[in-house]
Structure formats: structure tokens, C-alpha cells
Amino acid sequence: MTLPGKVTIYEVGPRDGLQNESALVPTHVKAEFVRRLLAAGLPVVEATSFVHPEWVPQLADAAELMAELGEAGRDLPVLVPNERGLDRALELGLKHIAIFGSATETFAQRNLNRGLEDQFAMFEPTVRRAREAGLDVRAYVSMCFGDPWEGEVPIDQVVEVGKRLFDLGAGQLSLGDTIGVGTAGHVTDLVEAFVAAGMDRDHLAMHFHDTYGQALANAYSALQAGITTFDASAGGLGGCPYAKSATGNLATEDLVWMLTGLGIEHGVDLTQVVTTSVWMAGKLGRPSPSAVVRALAESPA
């Protein structure tokens, strides 16, 4: 068995992590969160989302946050739901955007207010204009393993939706286990199905949630399948405001601990990320759900 020698961690804490918090986090705290994560060596930090404030009020300060981050913020990816979100990203001179599609009809209706088929018509002009402006585009597809309303999602359905989103002009496709029901065998089958459909493993990323405690096992399975990009959230923050059964993301610290133990290069300073997550937990008023954060934070000096 050969595992990858190097992995890229795509940090989603400031966006996917904070969007599900009940309390509004001040803009300057978010900016400091982003800066600390970058200083810890995380190569990609997704900063925020240009969604309508009524949808996700926790991220209503997206423009203010990017302005506070200054020039460094231009290199950070942001989520855009449609052309209006893209317009805001272009106005700020940002270089990287992400779109967020759904593998199921019900979640597309709830999250996008569009049908499964209609989402492609919405995203096509967004991606086309972004590419014409020289922006890098990432595509997320959610509910790849299970949907709280529809149950298990057929693999061929996930592959069809994912490839169509990617083929709009994305450079990478992130496969999301939005409610954390995936298992290691399912991960293998899904990756192999995408490869059989013509997708390059280098164009795939995995986005796991730890609802059933399977995120690390699933990440290991994805490593075995040749995946080298993993989404993770500092301290295990996160969820989804449109799927209440979606709990925290795979914790960055837990992933880093495993990768280090496997001898896989990742470039992240674990101590700095743990310190950052402890700091953010203090701002949120509750402990981090990350096992590694709890273990290291409680270790005697």
C-alpha cells in the first residue's frame, strides 16, 4: 500500500466553521482567526461566503472582513452562491471563488432554492464569468454520502452531479459528507467511481464531517485511494445551517496528527493551530470538539 507523500489541507474554519455558530463573531476576531491560521502554515484558508445576510447572518460581514484582511485577503478563496456573490468578489479584486452545489433534489431546494437540474443553469454564468476574469474556481458538491431527507445517495447520481459541476470550469471538486454518514468503504467506492468516469484524483478533494466519529477513518481511506487534498476546520468547528444533523467538520488538528504519524508532509504547525483553536473556543464560549485540541491543551506544560 502506497500513501501520498504530501497532502494539502484546505482550511474551511472561518467560513464553514463559523457559519453555523449561534452567536455573531466580530469581524476583527474573524480576521485574527484567518491570520493565525495562515501563520500556522495552512496553505489555503477559505475566508468567508458572499451569501445573502438573511441566509447566513453569521457571514453578513464578508465584505468588511475581506477589506480588513487587506492585500492578503485577495489570495483567499470565498464562497459565492451566484452571480451577485461573484460581483462582490470581483469588486474586491479577489482571485479564488467556490460554488456550492448539491447531489440531491431536496437539499438543492433547501440550500439553493433551485431544483437539482436548475442549479447548473445558475452556476454556469457564475463560473464562466469568473474564469473569463481570470479567477480560480472550486466546486463543492454536498450530500455525497447521505441526505437527511432522502437517505443514502446513489453513487452514480453523485458522480453525475459532481462531474457536471466540475465541467462547468472548476479546477477542483470537493466531495462533501455533509451529515457525516460516510464510511471507509463508501469513500473508496465513490473515489473509484469518479476515476472510472474520467476524473483525475488530483482534481478531487474530500470534505468530511465527524457526526458518527468516522471522519478520520474516512480520510485514511481517501488517502489509500490516492486523494491528496482534504478540507478541514480548525478545532472541528462547523456544520450546515440547512441540515441540522450536520455537526462539526473533520478537525484540522486531528487530521494533522494522523498525517504526521503516517509520515505524510503537510506543512502545518500543529502547536500553532491548537493554540488558535483554544483561543477561538474562548471567543465562542465553549470547548473545542477536536480530540487532539483537548488532549494537547490539557497536557501538562
Alpha carbon distance 140, 103 (integer Å): 10
Query: Is 240 a residue of the active site?
Result: yes
Take residue 301 and report the three cell numbers written for it. 506544560
CA 154 to chain centre: 22
Whole-angstrom distance between the N-terminal and C-terminal Cα of the chain? 38
Q: Residue 194: what are its φ and ψ, rounded to 5°? A: -65, -40
In contact, 99 and 126? CB cutoff 8 Å: yes
- Dmax (CA) of the chain: 56
Catalytic residue among 9, 42, 181, 240: 240
Task: Return the closest-CA partner of residue 148 out of 195, 181, 188.
Answer: 181
Task: Return the closest-CA partner of residue 119 out of 153, 77, 152, 81.
Answer: 81
Task: Return the closest-CA partner of residue 130 out of 163, 171, 175.
Answer: 171
Take residue 228 and report the three cell numbers written for it. 491528496
Tell me the CA distances in angstroms from 161 to 43, 79, 102, 141, 209, one per residue in order: 28, 19, 8, 8, 20
Q: Catalytic residues, which ones?
A: 240
